[in-house]
Structure 1
Amino acid sequence: MKTTNRLMTFARPLAAAMALAGLAALAGCEDANSKAQPAAPAGPPITAATVIERSVNETQEFSGRLEAVDRVDIRARVNGFITSVNFKPGSVVKKGDILFVIDPRPYQAEANRAEAAVSSARARADLAKLELARAERLLGDKAIAQREFDEKASGLKELDANVRAAQASLEAARLNLSYTNVHAPIGGRVSKAEVTTGNLVDGTVILTSVVSSNPIYATFDGDEDTYLRVGRVAQKGATVPVKIGLANESGFPHEGKLEFVDNRLDSATGSVRMRAMFDNTDNTLVPGLFARVQLSGSDSTQAKTVLISDRAIGTDQNRKFVYVIGADSKAEYRAVTLGPSIDGLRVVRSGVKPGEKIVVNGLQRVQPGAPVTAQIVAMDQDSKTPQAKTDDTKTAEPKAADAKAEVKPELKVADASAKTKE
């Protein structure tokens, strides 16, 4: 009985100590759990940039083709057999170079005959002049009748006309003789010979073709907006710069100017024919090549323009939109009207104002009216989306573990002392 009372007396302080230790451990866990809970998230992390405004000369890009300023199909002007071809296919020829030679012998003979006919007609005319002079003296002496004198005067006029006709025939014969040498009417690059030596040709046969190489045209179809922007400027004679780039070139390295704008728009396509002229001293540009055309406005068309990055633009069916970040860090949906791309940025006709902040990265995580956590970068900078911070959560877990580690040794000491007393 005394032993039982002694044990009960010893157990009461032990139970009280264990209760206090349990309460301390529970308090430590609650404190650790309270520290481990992170703060409510402010919104998904995104990257934002400030809408900028610049004075720019707007450009538009089109697809076009290069065309020669002059192009000539070479044909024979007289009939005959080709006796020689005097050019290398694809070479550059000068104006006046002999490309083909047609057998000149028949035309040389015709020229000789016509020359002889002229000499004969001139001799008869000279004789008629002498006879008319003699008749004039005889008429003064009344040795001949007036009628005879008139006949001789009329005969001289007829012979003079025959001389002129013979001279014209001679000129035609000499002209035909000159046509036996087929010359290049323009300077440029010649094609291959379509007819070789020994073939009979006439005026219906195309012998070859020559295209000019410098300068050269780039022809393209502009839209209605382009016509309203630069059409009248070009028609007044102001310079409208145009640049082109070939398929194997980056950018638009060749510079020229707008040379022609058609007088009407095609109602079926809503486009207008335009043409620019370029220097081609190095013969890099060849007629028929595809070209990327960049059309700029004149210097007088420069104005303040709102610019944003293409990364900030979203598509909603047939509309384009951006998310504008308000003063309360909430995203606002804005429909925008876009223009051309200039120096890597997109022109905005309406929808945003300079100085407003828009989302440029992370559009898929943004909801209209929802808060966002924005990192501000430059509009033309490629930025990565910032990662969410989890430092509070990571630091809370070790604290909770430390609290539990501090409670456990106390319980073990209490158990050991109890066993010793027993």
Structure 2
Amino acid sequence: MSVTDPAASSRLASDLDILPARAIGALLALALSSCSEKPQQAAAPAAPPVTVAQPTRRTVTDWDEYTGRFEAVEEVQVRARVGGYVNSVEFRDGAMVKTGDLLYVIDPRPFEAVATQADGQLADARAKVELAKRELDRALTLTLNQTVTEAVVDQRRQALQAAHAAETQADGALKAAQLNVEFTHVVAPITGRVSRHLVTPGNLVQGSDAGTSTLLTTIVSVDPIYIYFDVDEATYLKNNRLWFEGKRPSSRDTPNPVEVALSGETKPSHDGKMDFLDNRLDLSTGTLRSRAVIPNKDLSILPGQFGRVRLIGSAPYEALLLPDTAVATDQSRKIVFVVKEDDTVEGRPVVLGPLDDGLRVIREGLKAEDRVIVDGLQRARVGAKVSPHPAAAPSGGKAGDKPGDKP
């Protein structure tokens, strides 16, 4: 309704005339009181809750990590030692075999025939030796009666020596023939896992006498197993310095422990020990070839697999540790949020070390009595107040202790 309307103004005036004077006064008082009231100030927000814990203190050892490849301790190429036709294959492809297990049978009949011939030649040579002995003895007897001359005795003695030489040759020929018969049965030279058969029955194979023997299969040992990895020059110098200072034993003289995690594993699943360090650094890569030996009782590791190797990199030392989630990144710095005595938040730059059993080693920047925010970092602001609550303590320890540690 427009106030400039004359008709409306007259009607409003008539309505006000109708109202009692007491009601008009009440309305005016209410309007004046509402105009005099001031707006209430908003209540200050409560300090956000955060979870705090003191750093865990315990003795730790640094570990250096490398990528390595597993290789067999023993690897053999099984080749034919005699030529001939293959009669049978006596193993299952990919099976475990033991030393002496039969793998192939090559037709032995030609070699048995040669062995029989060599046996006859040996018997003939022995008979000639016996005859030469008797003739020499007869000549020596007749020499006493001066029936034969010394020249005849010398001839008989030389004939005996020649008979002995022929016997030795025949004996060697028989042994060689017998070895060839034995070589027709190809056996496993080591215990391990055999590959597939590369020659099927009915095929002709060449032996070692032919210059290039036929490859029949391969065998690799699987327990224990080697893992080879390369140590960079900086790490080698660090470990060498620790050895000179007496803080870490050298892997050349001491089988230092190693831990190995297979591909896809987040934690090490196999333990082993150092076994070898090369005598020089590789000129092309500047690394030192190293080797550890790993027990493989369950045969779960095969040569050729990759693994992550952890090797001790320091002497045991006392360290402060925090959950990795308590560490934030501020551009190029790593910081943690510490709650001071007045419950305000302070950002503290820290120097990080390696992970140890799920906790991060803090090398510099923290004290054992500091209260560090481990949960609720997104609610904390540097300089602002927070409402700190201690982290739940594991059974048998205080907040921040590793589960199972004594308080």
TM-score over 0.5 for the pair: yes
1:242 and 1:296 in contact (8 A); partners too: no
2:338 and 2:370 in contact (8 A); partners too: yes
1:57 and 1:297 in contact (8 A); partners too: yes
2:55 and 2:369 in contact (8 A); partners too: yes
Distance 1:164 1:327, change over 3 A: same
Alpha-carbon separation, structure 1, partners of 2:179 and 2:96: 27
User: 2:217 is aligned with what amino acid?
Assistant: T
User: 2:317 is aligned with what amino acid?
Assistant: A
Cα shift readout 1:77-124 (whole Å, capped 9, x = no counterpart):
111111111111112222101111111122112212222221222221
User: 1:53 is aligned with what amino acid?
Assistant: R
Cα shift readout 1:216-257 (whole Å, capped 9, x = no counterpart):
33333455548727983443335515243453x563333333
1:340 and 1:346 in contact (8 A); partners too: yes
Alpha-carbon separation, structure 2, partners of 1:209 and 1:303: 48
- Size of the alignment, in residue pairs? 358
Give the structure 2 partner of residue 340 of structure 1.
354
1:66-77 alignment runs, 5 A limit: 66-77=70-81
Deviation at 1:284, TM superposition (A): 2.7
Whether 2:290 is the aligned partner of 1:285: answer: no
Give the structure 1 partner of residue 123 of structure 2.
119
User: 1:373 is aligned with what amino acid?
Assistant: V
Alpha-carbon separation, structure 1, partners of 2:387 and 2:214: 74
Give the structure 1 partner of residue 58 of structure 2.
54
User: Which residue among 274, 292, 297 is the counterpart of 1:276?
Assistant: 292
Give the structure 2 partner of residue 303 of structure 1.
317
Whether 2:269 is the aligned partner of 1:253: answer: yes
SS in 1 for 2:249: helix
Give the structure 2 partner of residue 146 of structure 1.
150
User: Greater relative contact order (Cα 8 A, min sep 6): structure 1 or 2?
Assistant: 1
Higher fraction of helix: 1
User: Which residue among 196, 204, 212 is the counterpart of 2:221?
Assistant: 212
1:241 and 1:297 in contact (8 A); partners too: no
User: 1:219 is aligned with what amino acid?
Assistant: Y
Percent of paired sites with the same residue: 39
SS in 2 for 1:232: coil
1:60 and 1:340 in contact (8 A); partners too: no
User: 2:351 is aligned with what amino acid?
Assistant: T
Could you list the runs of 5+ residues in structure 2 that have no partner in the other structure?
A: 1-20, 395-407
Whether 2:346 is the aligned partner of 1:331: answer: yes
1:197-208 alignment runs, 5 A limit: 197-202=201-206, 203=208, 204-208=213-217
Give the structure 1 partner of residue 84 of structure 2.
80
1:159-238 alignment runs, 5 A limit: 159-202=163-206, 203=208, 204-222=213-231, 224-225=234-235, 228=239, 232-238=249-255
RMSD across aligned positions (CA):
3.6
Give the structure 1 partner of residue 401 of structure 2.
none
Deviation at 1:197, TM superposition (A): 0.8
Deviation at 1:173, TM superposition (A): 1.3
SS in 2 for 1:219: strand
SS in 2 for 1:332: strand
Alpha-carbon separation, structure 1, partners of 2:388 and 2:81: 78
2:51 and 2:388 in contact (8 A); partners too: yes
TM-score for the superposition, normalised by structure 1: 0.72
SS in 2 for 1:244: strand
2:257 and 2:271 in contact (8 A); partners too: no
Alpha-carbon separation, structure 2, partners of 1:159 and 1:330: 106
Could you list the runs of 5+ residues in structure 1 that have no partner in the other structure?
A: 1-10, 382-422
SS in 2 for 1:131: helix
Structure number with greater Rg is 1
Distance 1:273 1:113, change over 3 A: same
Distance 1:371 1:198, change over 3 A: same
1:49 and 1:360 in contact (8 A); partners too: yes
Cα shift readout 1:46-82 (whole Å, capped 9, x = no counterpart):
5544333212344454443333222211100111111
Moved more, 302-311 or 235-244: 235-244
Alpha-carbon separation, structure 1, partners of 2:281 and 2:373: 40
Alpha-carbon separation, structure 2, partners of 1:357 and 1:91: 59
Give the structure 2 partner of residue 320 of structure 1.
334
Give the structure 1 partner of residue 400 of structure 2.
none
